[in-house]
Each structure stands twice: as C-alpha cells, then as structure tokens.
Amino acid sequence: MSAGPELAAPASGAMVPQPFRVRSRRRETSDTWTLTLEPLVGAPISPGPGQFTMVYAFGVGEIPISVSGAHDGLLVHTVRAVGAVSAAIASARQGAVLGVRGPFGTTWPVHDAVGHDVLVIAGGVGLAPLRTAVQALERTRQDYGEVTLLYGGRSPGDLLFRRELESLRRRGKLSVDVTVDAARPDWAGKVGVVPKLIDAAHFDPATVIALVCGPEVMMHFSVTALRERGVASEQIYLSMERNMRCAVGHCGHCQLGPTLVCRDGAVYSYDTLEPLMGVREL
C-alpha cells in the first residue's frame, strides 16, 4: 500500500505569528469553543486536513491547536479550555486578535484513501482534527467505498459538533455512529466504548484506511480492535499529541523516539508508531 501521511510544504515565516481577528465564537460544550479566525495581513492560509497551527494569546502564551475547519480564507479552531493559554484562547471574544503560525505537520491521507473504505474514529475533542477530513470525504464521497465515522465521548453534553453530526447522518453519505460513556434515558444514541463500535462497523479489513484521533488510551484500544478485525498497521493513521513548542522541528520538545511530532506528525502511520507506543515513558 502506498498510503502515507501527506507532507505539506512548510509555511513561510514559520516563527513569526501573524495577527488573526476572531470573527465568531461558538460554544461546543461546557469547556470547548470553536473560533473562526480571519487573517488581518497577508494571504489566507490553507491548512490540509489534520494539520495544526500555533495559536498565540498575546501576553499569555502559545499552544498548538488542530485546525477544525478552513474555508473562504477563514481558519477554524476548536479549543478546549484546560490550561491558562487554552482558556485565554477559548475566551477570546469576537474582534479580539490572536497570533497564528503555521499550518504545520502532516495531513490525513484522504487522497491516498481514494478507492478504499475509510473508517474515521474519533474520541472526545479528537473529532476536531478529523473534522476537515470528514468534510473532504463527504465532498468527494463518490471516490471512496464505505465511509464510516465512529465517535465516542464522555456524555451527550461533551460531544462536539452535535448539530453537524445530525446533519451528516441525515444527509446519509457517511455512516455515523456515536457512543457515550454514560447517559440519561433521553439520549437516543449508544452507550459504550468506541472499540465496540469498531467490532460492528462495516468495512473491508484488507483495504480499509482508518483515521484515528482521541486520547491516547482510546487510540490504543481502537488500534487493538482494528488489528483484531484484521486491519494491517500501515492502514491505520493516528494523530499524536506531544509538547510542541517551535513547531518547525528545531527545539526537540515534541520528540517521540526518532521522530518529532511537529515535523513528522502529528498524523503518523501506525506502522511507524507501533514500536514507539510500546515503549513506556517515551
């Protein structure tokens, strides 16, 4: 199989944040917000699916955030407020200015997956980095075999993009299966873990391309379920998180074995990751 994470050309001026204005801000969950940003100077950026940018809250700090959308020259980020910087970014109001560097990193192999079944597996905020891949798959739906999105979250209230998921399901181009860890009886969806959805999903294990993003433990169990279904390592792609700082492969903070996540990831083929994920404290 020739599929592999797709390398994108590095952005020019990769170390200098460009000013972006917050055009709109939408609440997704109790602690997660989606910001739509417009560039104030220079050309709009065109991130590929799965790439990230470094977003700078002036005077607070800079963090890597996956791109959850890009259209009409606008950049969309979905941010969970878990620390000082992400909280500052998530709370940026309409009209506020943030710094943006990038885009950086590899992309989901949506082009290499043409002609194959595609299984998109997301957990929690891990749906955000997969959102543009899902949009691309739906746009060119006729180029693929079975396309399935499996999404798991802690509770119905913690799910991202709920309206979009409903619309996606209604349009019927992709199979959409959502599960949560626990719910009240008014929840019409499933309750259970993502690997159980994998067991029941329809795809050809010999040729499917699986795109997986979520907490590392969830990805580990998802990969196990995929392998048990007979999916080979090189058909599985994961988006990894490490402590990315420079984002251009200089500082080494995001080293993962012989790779740097900012440069060689964040999207990796699992055959690259398999020997690394078995090493504790790596």
Partner 1 sequence: MTTLAELMKDAPFFAGLRTETLELVAGCGSNVQFEPGALIFREGEQADIFYLLRHGSVSIEAYASTSGPLVIETLEAGDVLGWSWLFEPHRWHFDAHALTGVRATAFDGACLRAKCDADPALGYELVSRFAQTLIERLQWTRLRLLDVYGHVGRS
Does 245 participate in binding partner 1 (rule CB under 8 A)? no
In terms of Cβ atoms closer than 10 Å to its own Cβ (0-12, 13-18, 19+), residue 6 is: middle
At 91, the amino acid letter reads S
| Greatest CA separation for the chain | 52
Query: Could you give the CA distance from residue 103 to residue 10 in angstroms, rounded to a whole number?
Result: 8
Out of 68, 106, 235, 259, point to the residue binding partner 1 (CB under 8 A). Answer: 68
Does 230 participate in binding partner 1 (rule CB under 8 A)? no
Tokens representing 18? Answer: 């460009």
Does 192 participate in binding partner 1 (rule CB under 8 A)? yes
Closest CA to 107 of 67, 153, 55, 71: 67
- Are 153 and 161 in contact by the 8 Å Cβ rule? The answer is no
Does 137 participate in binding partner 1 (rule CB under 8 A)? no
Nearer to partner 1, 41 or 188 (CB): 188
Non-local (6+) Cβ contacts of 9 within 8 A are none
Does 190 participate in binding partner 1 (rule CB under 8 A)? yes
Nearer to partner 1, 109 or 129 (CB): 129
Does 128 participate in binding partner 1 (rule CB under 8 A)? yes
Query: Could you give the CA distance from residue 220 to residue 237 in angstroms, rounded to a whole number?
Result: 12
Does 154 participate in binding partner 1 (rule CB under 8 A)? yes
Counting residues that bind partner 1 (by CB under 8 A) gives 48
CA angle, residues 210, 273, 191, in degrees to nearest 5: 45
Tokens representing 84? Answer: 């000082």
Query: Could you give the CA distance from residue 225 to residue 182 in angstroms, rounded to a whole number?
Result: 21
Buried b (16+ CB within 10 A) or exposed e, 96-110: bebbbbbbbbbbbbb
Out of 56, 104, 144, 221, point to the residue binding partner 1 (CB under 8 A). Answer: 221
Nearer to partner 1, 86 or 272 (CB): 86
Q: Minimum CB separation from partner 1 for residue 143, in Å?
A: 28
Give, as ranges, the residues between 12 and 41 that touch partner 1 (CB under 8 A). Answer: 32
Q: Minimum CB separation from partner 1 for residue 109, in Å?
A: 20
Nearer to partner 1, 90 or 118 (CB): 90
Query: Could you give the CA distance from residue 68 to residue 157 in angstroms, rounded to a whole number?
Result: 19
Interface map 77-96 toward partner 1 (x if CB under 8 A): xxxx-xx--x----------
Binding residues vs partner 1 (CB under 8 A) = 32, 52, 63-66, 68, 77-80, 82-83, 86, 123-126, 128-129, 152-154, 158, 179, 181-185, 187-193, 195-196, 200, 214-215, 217-218, 221, 241, 244, 266
